[in-house]
């Protein structure tokens, strides 16, 4: 029985795993829509958004935001689909658009929080 994996399409003759291929570079852009929310470095963002999307996705969001503010390129984030699904970033063709503020939680987000965290958020938001 052979334990060799099938080669990556278009990579015949190389011994590089798909996971070892470098992710492409992107240059995120800020999109100013006047959306209300929190500053990305607000502790509230870390406390509640981590519970919803996980620490890796939040770290990717913070890197995208910093790169957009400083007009820098970064490797395409691993958690890009999560950030798109949650509406934290937008895509316009190949461009990644980042809002300067992280939105407040919507009712659909609140329902996904455990009850004690939901109550804490509602108390903070008054």
CA–CA gap between residue 111 and residue 5 (Å, rounded)? 42
Report the distance separating Cα 50 and Cα 45, nearest Å.
Answer: 8
Span 92-120, pLDDT tens digits: 988 999 999 999 999 999 999 999 999 99
Residue 9 binned pLDDT confidence (cut-offs 50, 70, 90) = low
The confidence score (pLDDT) of residue 3 equals 61
pLDDT at 7: 60
36: confidence class by pLDDT, cuts 50, 70, 90? confident
Mean of pLDDT values over 9-30: 77
């Amino acid at each position: 029985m052979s334990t060799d994996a099938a080669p990556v399409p278009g990579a015949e003759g190389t011994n590089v795993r798909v996971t070892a291929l470098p992710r492409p570079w992107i240059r995120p852009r800020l999109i100013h829509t006047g959306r209300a929310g929190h500053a990305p470095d607000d502790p509230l963002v870390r406390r509640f958004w981590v519970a919803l999307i996980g620490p890796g996705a939040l770290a990717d969001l913070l890197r995208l935001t910093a790169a957009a503010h400083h007009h820098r390129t970064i490797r395409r984030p691993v958690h890009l689909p999560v950030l798109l699904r949650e509406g934290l970033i937008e895509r316009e063709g190949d461009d990644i658009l980042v809002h300067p503020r992280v939105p407040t939680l919507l009712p659909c987000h609140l329902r996904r929080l455990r009850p004690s965290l939901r109550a804490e958020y509602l108390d903070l938001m008054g």
